[in-house]
Amino acid sequence: MTETTLAFIGGGNMAASLIGGLIADGWNPANIRVADTDPGRLERLSERFAVATMPDNLKAAEQADAIVLAIKPQVVKPVAQELAALVETRQPLVISIAAGIREASLHRWLGEHAAIVRTMPNTPALVQSGATALYANSNTSEDQRNIAESILRAVGVAIWVDDEALMDAVTALSGSGPAYFFLFMEAMQAAGRELGLPEKTARLLTLQTAFGAAKMALESSEDVATLRARVTSPGGTTECALQSFQADGLEAIVRKALKAAAERSSELGSKLEI
Cα–Cα distance, 180 to 124 (Å, whole number):
13
> Is residue 155 domain-shared with residue 190, that is, in the same domain?
no
Domain of residue 237, CATH code? 1.10.3730.10
Query: Is 97 within a domain?
Result: yes
Radius of gyration from C-alpha coordinates of the chain: 21
User: Which amino acid, residue 222?
Assistant: E
Q: Are 170 and 133 in contact (CB under 8 A)?
A: yes
Nearest to 61 by CA among 41, 38, 89, 39: 89
> Is residue 209 domain-shared with residue 161, that is, in the same domain?
no
> Is residue 88 domain-shared with residue 195, that is, in the same domain?
no
Is the per-residue pLDDT at 274 higher than 70?
A: no
Query: Is 223 within a domain?
Result: yes
Cα–Cα distance, 152 to 64 (Å, whole number):
17
Mean local confidence (pLDDT), 237-245: 97
Cα–Cα distance, 42 to 91 (Å, whole number):
26
Helix (H, G, I), strand (E, B) or coil at 131: strand
Query: Is 113 within a domain?
Result: yes
> Is residue 11 domain-shared with residue 115, that is, in the same domain?
yes
User: Which amino acid, residue 226?
Assistant: T
φ/ψ of residue 7, rounded to 5: -125, 120
> Is residue 90 domain-shared with residue 208, that is, in the same domain?
no
Mean local confidence (pLDDT), 32-37: 97
Domain that holds residue 201: 175-269
109: alpha, beta or left? (left if phi > 0; alpha if psi -120 to 50): alpha
pTM: 0.91
Query: Is 18 within a domain?
Result: yes
Mean local confidence (pLDDT), 138-146: 97
DSSP one-letter string for 74-90: GGHHHHHHHHHHHHHHH
Query: Is 274 within a domain?
Result: no
> Is residue 195 domain-shared with residue 146, that is, in the same domain?
no
Query: Is 102 within a domain?
Result: yes
Mean local confidence (pLDDT), 186-208: 98
> Is residue 116 domain-shared with residue 194, that is, in the same domain?
no
Query: Is 1 within a domain?
Result: no
Provide the CB-side half-sphere exposure for 1 (13 A, CA): 16
Write down the pLDDT at residue 84.
98
> Is residue 157 domain-shared with residue 227, that is, in the same domain?
no
Mean local confidence (pLDDT), 16-35: 95
Q: How many domains does the chain have?
A: 2
